[in-house]
Amino acid sequence: MSETKAFQEYYPDDASHCYGCGRNNPHGHRLRSFWDGGTTVARFTPEPYHTAIPGYVYGGLIASLIDCHGTGSAAAAAYRAENREMGSAPALRFVTASLQVDYLAPTPLGPELELRGSIAEATPRKAIVEITLSAAGAVTARGRVVAVRMPESMARPAAG
């Protein structure tokens, strides 16, 4: 697995404040996603306070990690589909249109979590990424992210 530079580290500076994966957000999770052959992988160790019922990981964190790994994987897949290096202009940045998470079993709090993404569909405008989340080798959640190319209008927000 090549862990030289994460997908999210290729995002432009002004698109790197995401609470889930932005390198410029000191409060956030700073999730980092990579290619591992034809699939994508990210790893994250929750904090003790990321709990649901004591002993288990909070489902909202699981959804968040799947979301950010999904949009990151979508961007990476779009570059690959165009035979382009990540980071080359114009930037390809995706946002989530829909997120589906199935919680298959309680996720123990403590072990590092591993997210693996498979690209089910990748076009310049839309990507679908199927993701598994596992803890200590057991898959505890499955996700599906439908990501769409970020509208130009989002780069110039009215608010904020």
Where does this chain bind its own copies (CB under 8 A)?
14-15, 17-20, 22, 25-28, 47, 49-56, 58-61, 63-65, 67-68, 95-103, 106, 108-110, 150, 154-155, 157-160
Minimum distance from CB of 96 to its own copies (Å)? 5
d(CA 151, CA 154): 6
Minimum distance from CB of 48 to its own copies (Å)? 8
Q: Which amino acid is at 10?
A: Y
Q: Which is nearer to its own copies, 4 or 156 (CB)?
A: 156
Residue of 135, 131, 157 whose CA lies nearest to 146: 131
Q: Which is nearer to its own copies, 83 or 153 (CB)?
A: 153
Any residues with CB less than 8 A from the CB of 43 and at least 6 apart, and which? 112, 113, 114, 115
Q: Which is nearer to its own copies, 3 or 138 (CB)?
A: 138
Minimum distance from CB of 58 to its own copies (Å)? 4
Q: Which is nearer to its own copies, 13 or 83 (CB)?
A: 13
d(CA 59, CA 63): 6
Any residues with CB less than 8 A from the CB of 69 and at least 6 apart, and which? 31, 33, 40, 42, 115, 117, 129, 131, 145
Minimum distance from CB of 38 to its own copies (Å)? 26
* Residue 66 near residue 116, CB atoms below 8 Å: no
Cα distance from N-terminal residue to C-terminal residue, the chain? 38
Q: Which is nearer to its own copies, 82 or 104 (CB)?
A: 104
